[in-house]
């Protein structure tokens, strides 16, 4: 949800650094972008509607400047156009903002009465105007920032320039991520680590109620009463190149091909029973789970519910975070609330963590981005170790979450004596030896099926039990990147209304990894085929009378979802590619949804 980058350094190459940083953050939003930088002691602003390359074209990147801030937008308040693009300026103040100011209309009215004039439809411009007002009154930027913060309701990550102070960038945040980083000769602000990795792997996390003051040679942190704070510097140990596309045509494809490595990375920490006990024994005292997440991470919750209830007999309630945050829950001191999030910053999921914590309920985060807000606020965190995921549509992070859920099921099953030690060891062994199976899936051809699906406007995914969870994710993957409408249904449910949409050749993709429901789903497939559907099946066994079959290797049922989702991710990718879609940056989307 919007990307922010700021640079102040020895070298006078601010525009180049900022544009490169924006490109690394483009996955966060790409409706418009803009930049503000000092040139001859004056703030210059440039903005463009559309992708960052359009902004790049209107800039002279060799302009001499050693300080600036920049923004790539995912529009919330105000249409995506040049006027609403950030930065926003008022008087001597220029800002870029990620988040949403909920009381902006009230503030705007108040400021208009005082004679201030607004040119955009955004909530963000209100921040610039408020800062300008308080700065005019006090001529003190830090006091103005503190006063402005007190007036804002909502969420924000803010980078601020003041024309009277051409050597410094100021930053604050609330409920939106912002990191502050230092290299030998420069300081940086960024929404996410990939934007600074070309220069340094040392960074700080700005906490709420802190102000960062960045100069080229130092960074000061102050609290709300302007006392200096000493902060711990963190080191990013991941692979710098993981945020580049390499030889792949898209990040999404690269990330699907990385799934093998992700499995290996996770399994290294859960190699045997002792490691499982060491890492997961905190789970054994709980008698029920609530799982809360959004989008694909919610689908992991659905899969987890099927797995845990069936194998461990622990009740699991799974809910979408945007609903959970406004309804009653029935947790008690025997419950664990589990939050699944790749980014660890999703606003609704984060709000649910806070809501549950208020009731003193224990919380677990299954998180990819270590040091993210959710990771820092939960009682227990399990990291999914998928590495930076750049494509907006999640693939490898989803797979990593799935593996963690399988490992939790295995551990609890063993702990509660549903699974023997031998069973557990066999599964761990299977999990560590999936390379050649995954290679087979990666190297299969999906083009023919993709070409057929690409011609349709409606596609259905069917599955029962855990296969329904996989169907939900496969359907989301297809629709978000190819813009084909698709729906996932529990296989037996379609005939209660939706089957009326099946026409001659409507693609229906059915997932059959579950033995106990296999025959029932086959019957449901017959029902749609009778009505003309073009049937594609994902299964471990050959099935007569279906147009297409994607065969996945035979494995224990617990592990099959891992193998079933990969061809479906690839299929969605190829359909989107045939339709010429912008696969890594689908329209209207952004990664890391930090607004409600």
Q: Which of 52, 593, 594, 595 binds ligand F6R (CB under 6 A)?
A: 593
Binding mask 259-298 for ligand F6R (x = CB under 6 A): -----------------------------------xxxx-
- In whole angstroms, the minimum distance from the beta carbon of 458 to ligand F6R comes to 20
Nearer to ligand F6R, 210 or 480 (CB): 480
Binding mask 142-161 for ligand F6R (x = CB under 6 A): --------------------
Q: Which of 124, 155, 592, 594 binds ligand F6R (CB under 6 A)?
A: 592
566 binds ligand F6R (CB under 6 A): no
Sole window of 98-106, 161-169, 181-189, 336-344 interacting with ligand F6R (rule: CB under 6 A): 336-344
Cβ-contact 48, 138 below 8 angstroms: no
Q: Enter the tokens of residue 376.
A: 């820092």
Give helix then strand counts, H and E, for the chain. Answer: 19, 24
Cβ-contact 337, 316 below 8 angstroms: no
Footprint of ligand F6R on residues 34-53 (CB under 6 A)?
Answer: none
Q: 426: Cβ–Cβ under 8 A, 6 or more apart, which residues? A: 556
Nearer to ligand F6R, 399 or 536 (CB): 399
- In whole angstroms, the minimum distance from the beta carbon of 339 to ligand F6R comes to 8
Nearer to ligand F6R, 194 or 295 (CB): 295
Binding mask 345-364 for ligand F6R (x = CB under 6 A): -x--x---------------
Q: Enter the tokens of residue 283.
A: 């789970």
Phi, psi of 388 (to 5 degrees): -60, 130
Cβ-contact 390, 194 below 8 angstroms: yes
Nearer to ligand F6R, 111 or 570 (CB): 570
The kind and range of the H/E element at 68 are: strand 67-73
Sole window of 223-231, 338-346, 535-543, 562-570 interacting with ligand F6R (rule: CB under 6 A): 338-346
- In whole angstroms, the minimum distance from the beta carbon of 70 to ligand F6R comes to 23
Q: How far separated are the first and last CA of the chain, in Å rounded?
A: 11
480 binds ligand F6R (CB under 6 A): yes
- In whole angstroms, the minimum distance from the beta carbon of 190 to ligand F6R comes to 17
Nearer to ligand F6R, 93 or 562 (CB): 562
Sole window of 75-83, 95-103, 133-141, 339-347 interacting with ligand F6R (rule: CB under 6 A): 339-347
Phi, psi of 19 (to 5 degrees): -65, -40
Q: Which of 322, 335, 342, 569 binds ligand F6R (CB under 6 A)?
A: 342
Reference 512, options 453, 475, 462; nearest CA is: 462
- Whether cis (ω within 30° of 0) applies to the bond prior to 34 is no
Annotated active-site residue in 47, 260, 477, 591: 591
SS3 sequence, 282-309? HHHHCCEEEEEECHHHHHHHHHHHHHHH
434 binds ligand F6R (CB under 6 A): no
Nearest 5°: CA angle at 377, between 372 and 380? 100
Residue 2 bears catalytic tag: yes
DSSP annotation string for 532-567: T-EEEEEESS--SS-SEEEE-----GGGHHHHHHHH
Annotated active-site residue in 2, 77, 294, 581: 2
Extract the runs of DSSP E, i.e. beta strands, from 175-216. 179-182, 186-190, 202-205, 210-214
- In whole angstroms, the minimum distance from the beta carbon of 236 to ligand F6R comes to 18
584 binds ligand F6R (CB under 6 A): no
Cβ-contact 237, 192 below 8 angstroms: no
- In whole angstroms, the minimum distance from the beta carbon of 394 to ligand F6R comes to 4
Closest residue to ligand F6R, judged by C-beta, is 295
- In whole angstroms, the minimum distance from the beta carbon of 412 to ligand F6R comes to 23
Nearer to ligand F6R, 196 or 294 (CB): 294
Strand ordering across the sheet containing 485-490:
485-490, 458-463, 507-512, 534-539, 548-551
- In whole angstroms, the minimum distance from the beta carbon of 393 to ligand F6R comes to 4
Footprint of ligand F6R on residues 364-393 (CB under 6 A)?
Answer: 393
Residue 496 Cα to chain centre, angstroms: 34
176 binds ligand F6R (CB under 6 A): no
Reference 142, options 34, 228, 217, 65; nearest CA is: 228
Q: How many chain residues touch ligand F6R (CB under 6 A)?
A: 15
Nearest 5°: CA angle at 418, between 413 and 422? 85
Nearer to ligand F6R, 187 or 592 (CB): 592
From the number of C-beta atoms within 10 Å of its C-beta (0-12, 13-18, 19+), residue 457 rates as exposed
DSSP category for residue 229: -
d(CA 310, CA 307): 5
DSSP category for residue 272: S
Nearer to ligand F6R, 212 or 476 (CB): 476
- CB atoms closer than 10 angstroms to residue 412: 23
Catalytic positions:
2, 591
- List residues binding ligand F6R (CB under 6 A): 294-297, 341-343, 346, 349, 393-394, 476, 480, 592-593
């Amino acid at each position: 949800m919007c990307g922010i980058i700021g640079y102040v350094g020895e070298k006078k190459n601010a525009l180049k650094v900022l544009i490169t940083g924006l490109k690394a953050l483009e996955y966060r939003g790409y409706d418009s972008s803009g930049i503000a930088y000092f040139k001859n002691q004056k703030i210059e602003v440039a903005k463009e509607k559309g992708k960052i390359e359009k902004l790049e074209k209107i800039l002279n990147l060799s302009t001499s400047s050693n300080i600036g801030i920049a923004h790539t937008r995912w529009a919330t308040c105000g249409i995506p156009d040049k006027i609403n693009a950030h930065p926003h300026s008022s008087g001597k103040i220029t800002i870029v903002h990620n988040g949403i100011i909920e009381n902006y209309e009230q503030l705007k009215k108040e400021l208009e009465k005082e004679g201030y004039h607004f040119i955009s439809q955004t909530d963000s411009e209100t921040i610039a105007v408020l800062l300008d007002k308080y700065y005019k009154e006090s001529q003190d930027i830090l006091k103005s920032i503190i006063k402005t913060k007190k007036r804002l309701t909502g969420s924000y990550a803010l980078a601020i320039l003041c024309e009277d102070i051409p050597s410094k960038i100021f930053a604050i945040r609330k409920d939106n991520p912002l990191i502050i980083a230092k290299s030998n000769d420069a300081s940086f602000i960024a929404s996410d680590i990939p934007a600074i990795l070309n220069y340094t792997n040392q960074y700080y996390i700005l906490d709420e109620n802190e102000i960062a003051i960045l100069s080229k040679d130092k960074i000061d942190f102050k609290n709300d009463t302007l006392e200096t704070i000493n902060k711990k510097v963190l080191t990013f140990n991941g692979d710098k190149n993981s945020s580049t596309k390499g030889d792949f045509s898209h990040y999404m494809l690269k990330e699907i091909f990385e799934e093998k490595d992700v499995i290996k990375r996770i399994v290294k920490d859960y190699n045997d029973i002792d490691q499982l006990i060491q890492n997961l024994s905190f789970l054994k005292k709980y008698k029920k789970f609530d799982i809360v997440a959004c989008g694909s991470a919610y689908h992991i919750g659905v899969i987890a519910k099927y797995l845990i209830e069936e194998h461990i007999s622990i009740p699991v309630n799974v809910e979408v975070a945007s609903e959970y945050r406004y309804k009653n829950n029935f947790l008690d001191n025997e419950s664990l609330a589990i939050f699944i999030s790749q980014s660890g910053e999703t606003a609704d999921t984060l709000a649910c963590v806070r809501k549950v914590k208020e009731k003193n309920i224990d919380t677990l985060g299954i998180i990819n981005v270590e040091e993210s807000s959710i990771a820092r606020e939960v009682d227990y965190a399990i990291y999914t170790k998928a590495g930076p995921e750049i494509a907006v549509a999640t693939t490898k992070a989803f797979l990593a979450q799935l593996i963690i859920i399988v490992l939790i099921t295995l551990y609890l099953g063993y702990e509660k004596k549903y699974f023997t030690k031998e069973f557990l060891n066999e599964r761990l062994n299977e999990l560590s030896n999936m390379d050649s199976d995954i290679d087979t899936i990666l190297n299969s051809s999906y083009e023919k099926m993709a070409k057929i699906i690409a011609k349709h406007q409606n596609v259905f995914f069917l599955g029962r039990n855990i296969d329904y969870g996989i169907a939900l994710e496969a359907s989301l993957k297809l629709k978000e990147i190819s813009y084909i409408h698709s729906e996932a249904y529990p296989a037996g449910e379609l005939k209660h209304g939706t089957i009326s949409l099946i026409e001659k050749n409507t693609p229906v993709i059915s997932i059959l990894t579950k033995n106990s429901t296999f025959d029932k789903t086959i019957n449901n497939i017959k029902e749609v085929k009778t009505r003309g559907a073009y049937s594609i099946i994902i299964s471990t066994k050959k099935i007569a009378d279906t147009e297409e079959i994607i065969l996945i290797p035979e494995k224990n049922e617990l592990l099959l979802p891992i193998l079933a989702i990969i061809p479906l991710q690839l299929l969605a990718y190829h359909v989107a590619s045939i339709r010429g879609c912008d696969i890594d940056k689908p329209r209207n989307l952004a990664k890391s949804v930090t607004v409600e």
